[in-house]
Amino acid sequence: MVAFDDDVTARRADDVLGLLEQNLKEEEGRLFHQWWNIDVLAFTSMGELAALEAAMADMIIIAIHDGQELPKTVAIWMKRFLDRRKDRPGALMAMLDSDPNKLDITQGVLPQLKQAAALGRMSFFATRVGSGGDKMGMGRAGGDDGMTRVACEAATQFVMASKSRARHKHPRAANVLAETCGAWTS
């Protein structure tokens, strides 16, 4: 499931999904995804439907602009879907568009998203890209393309860990394997 701010953040998430689909082998299954613009989450019925879909999703990508805190509608939506997830394994991936002049990883939405993932017992991955296209927090250069590759690597690791968990019936395998993928998880 993808929740996004606007065309810019949606394109970045779409790039990740495209790379993930390319990396999936036919025997590993198919990728199905739902898209939600965060503006529609303000409508009660739409927010409820999006929460039900997120509760059932294996992976939730939140592609938004970084700010001081999550938009209220996103925070309410996240609470709704986390209440419904129970102990269902999954991953939360944050793809944040950040202003490089205002970057402070101790503030903003990243800690809120990381806490939400922990409450939902979900693996957490995060990537940031500056408004000018410079990737931050990853330790590698590469702009949007590099951000997309790192996010795709995280998503691929999660998918593979989920497959491994299903084969071995080990409930924590996805979390253990997914967190070793190299994505920035500050």
Per-residue pLDDT tens listing for the chain (186 residues):
999 999 988 988 888 888 777 777 655 666 788 899 999 999 999 999 999 999 999 889 999 988 888 999 999 999 999 999 888 888 899 988 876 666 555 567 888 999 999 999 998 888 877 654 444 333 233 345 555 666 666 666 666 666 665 555 444 433 333 333 334 433
Cβ neighbours for 177, distance < 8 A, ≥ 6 positions apart = 157, 160, 161, 164
Q: What are the Cα distances from residue 67, in Å, to 32, 72, 109?
A: 29, 12, 6
Cβ neighbours for 66, distance < 8 A, ≥ 6 positions apart = 96, 97, 98, 99, 108, 109, 110, 128
Question: At 37, is the secondary structure helix, strand, or coil?
Answer: strand
Domains of the chain: 2-178 (3.40.50.360)
Q: Could you give the CA distance from residue 149 to residue 20 in angstroms, rounded to a whole number?
A: 9
